Amino acid sequence: MNDSDSSAQNGLTRRELLGLLGAGALAALLPAGLPGQAHAANNADFDTAKGPGLIFVVGDGMPAGVVRAMHEVRTGVFGRANTALHARLRDPRSALGLMATASLSSIVTDSAPASAAWSTGVHTANRHLAALPDGRPLTTIFELVRKRGVATGLVTTTRVTHATPAAWISHQTNRDLEDDIASEILAFRPEVLLGGGFRHFSAAKRKDGRDLLAEFQRSGCDTVTDRAGLLAATAAAKPLVGLFSASHLAYNLDRLNDPALSAQPTLPEMTAQALRRLAKNPNGFLLQVEAGRIDHACHSNDAWSSIMDTVELDDTLAVIDSFLAVNPKTLVIVTSDHGNSGWGINGTGSSYNDATAALRSYRAGKASFEAIIRRLKGKNAQQTQDILTESTGFAIGLDEAEMVLAAMEPGYGGFTGDYVYQPDATIGLLLARNAKAKDGKAGLRRGNVGFTSTNHTAEDQTLLAYGHRARELNLARLLDNTELFDTMCAYFGLRHTNPRMAQDEAARLLLATRQDADPRLHIA
């Protein structure tokens, strides 16, 4: 299926959608409605599943502020009556709580131990997957449910070897060993594996020269490497592996604007195909779906990209609603592994009355900071000004372009140590300041999303559960992230307790092995 004749949302082709984006109309056409509504033909038409299901949806590094901004953009800018996420948040049948996220080694977690807390029920140290700091492996929920014949799946917009999906399979103590993680994924062979990270499965890129994708094929898996292949895949009972980019998939904003990225599927498309495949299993399924690039956009202080990747998460929840409409024995859990960057919509103007317009002004953006910065390499100040103005939709001054170029230089020290992603944070700051008027005075406000850093943050995260047995599982409260492992075990009728490590023991071990443990935490 090519780009021009592909079946797209609301009867429009992807090319037509791309043409509408510049007019700010695209998001109004994407599938996100109320629970139970029918959605686009290529995302609906689900058959009845053969067993119960659990869909665990992760907005990686998804602050509460970006969720509110996504809802405002879809309803206030693009005219939607509601969003799929807010419809579920407001539904009295849903269970709504908060979740603590600290790891064994820090009040601020990274994604590896955060996801391992879900998959194992145990706190481990930052950068560790399903393993304690002394190397002891922790049994994961995927390993447990497989013994019951339950099918497993991972869908992500990041590399499939990245921390959040990897922690449900891998027992590495270093999340960066992604070639090794890929080998573990092959050995486990989930029934569905969809996302990026082809380079960790490629003989040309791996140090050991193994072609893991070919090994998946020889083991009986269907393998696809582009959107057309994914959409053409039938809902067979065979495992499905799809790797659509060497690294992460592109941001939603860039995939919508750049026809060169049309071979990459959307998160809703991957989720729909995963559900069709997993629903064939008579013993049920457990699927993790990750909107992983929300986190990356927040790290970059890129407000519009983070909003648009949250829009894609909302589209995915709409697809899941279509699945639930014919498969009510499905539980859905939606949460985030941690906060990120202090993402906040700041009150602006007299009595804050300019705040809504300032937030909505980000809609002019046509490219992520990631895509913009690639274009800036080797450019002078005038060229940088032109690229920034064209890509963000805001008039950028020549002096501001020079600020961005300075931030691209090695050793740039214009920000405190909390703004380590540069020139990303500088661009983010420029897009949230007043433009200069011709008389030199402050002109109209640009955007108004402010960031406290480019780092993860420690605030508790929203926890939403709906669907089958959602109100029975005691989730409408403040709970620890490790408790979701017990929730999933209870849902599938399992009981398991992994070994644990005390915080002081972990601190001593990490300090002794020089794994970035703060000596102030050492307990004698």
Reported as half-sphere exposure (CB side, CA atoms, 13 A), residue 101 has a value of 27
Specify if 250 maps to a domain.
Answer: yes
- Is 456 marked as a binding-site residue? yes
Residues 463 and 488 in one domain: yes
Residues 205 and 302 in one domain: yes
Specify if 142 maps to a domain.
Answer: yes
Looking at residue 72, its pLDDT comes to 97
Binned at pLDDT 50, 70 and 90, residue 41 comes out as very low
Residues 105 and 205 in one domain: yes
Instruction: Please write the tens of the pLDDT for every residue from 356-398.
Output: 999 999 999 999 999 999 999 999 999 999 999 999 999 999 9
Specify if 371 maps to a domain.
Answer: yes
Binned at pLDDT 50, 70 and 90, residue 164 comes out as very high
Looking at residue 4, its pLDDT comes to 32
Indicate the pTM of the whole model.
0.91
On the question of pLDDT at 523 being above 60, the answer is no
DSSP code per residue over 361-409? GGGG--S-HHHHHHHHTT--HHHHHHHHHHHHSS---HHHHHHHHHHTS
Instruction: Please write the tens of the pLDDT for every residue from 290-328.
Output: 999 999 999 999 999 999 999 999 999 999 999 999 999
Domain end call among 450, 480, 515: 450
Among residues 111, 262, 305, 306, the one annotated as catalytic is 111
pLDDT greater at residue 456 or residue 236:
456
Specify if 497 maps to a domain.
Answer: yes
Residues 232 and 329 in one domain: yes
pLDDT over 70, % of the chain: 88
On the question of pLDDT at 23 being above 70, the answer is no
Residues 376 and 407 in one domain: yes
Residues 145 and 282 in one domain: yes
Look-up of token digits 């709409």: 318
Instruction: Please write the tens of the pLDDT for every residue from 262-284.
Output: 999 999 999 999 999 999 999 99
Looking at residue 520, its pLDDT comes to 62
Distance of alpha carbon 96 from the chain centroid: 20
Specify if 511 maps to a domain.
Answer: no
CATH number of residue 474's parent domain: 3.40.720.10
Residues 481 and 441 in one domain: no
Looking at residue 21, its pLDDT comes to 35
Q: Please, what is the average pLDDT of the chain?
A: 90
- Is 337 marked as a binding-site residue? yes
Residues 406 and 463 in one domain: no
Q: Which domain holds residue 421?
A: 363-450
Residues 89 and 191 in one domain: yes
d(CA 295, CA 12): 30
Residues 307 and 378 in one domain: no
Instruction: List beta partners, residue 332.
Output: 55, 466
Looking at residue 29, its pLDDT comes to 34
The closest alpha carbon to 9, from 25, 30, 23, belongs to 30
Q: For the chain, what is the domain count?
A: 3
The answer to whether 374 touches 367, Cβ cutoff 8 Å, is no
Looking at residue 438, its pLDDT comes to 63
- Is 338 marked as a binding-site residue? yes
Residues 243 and 316 in one domain: yes
- Is 71 marked as a binding-site residue? no
Instruction: Please write the tens of the pLDDT for every residue from 385-395.
Output: 999 999 999 99
Looking at residue 521, its pLDDT comes to 61
d(CA 348, CA 445): 8
Looking at residue 447, its pLDDT comes to 95
Domain end call among 408, 428, 450: 450
Specify if 515 maps to a domain.
Answer: no
On the question of pLDDT at 24 being above 70, the answer is no
On the question of pLDDT at 40 being above 50, the answer is no
- Is 356 marked as a binding-site residue? no
pLDDT (average), residues 49-68: 97
- Is 164 marked as a binding-site residue? yes
Specify if 192 maps to a domain.
Answer: yes
- Is 299 marked as a binding-site residue? yes
Specify if 436 maps to a domain.
Answer: yes
On the question of pLDDT at 219 being above 50, the answer is yes
Would residue 351 show up in a list of annotated catalytic residues for this protein? no
Residues 208 and 317 in one domain: yes
- The token pair at 411 is 């050793």
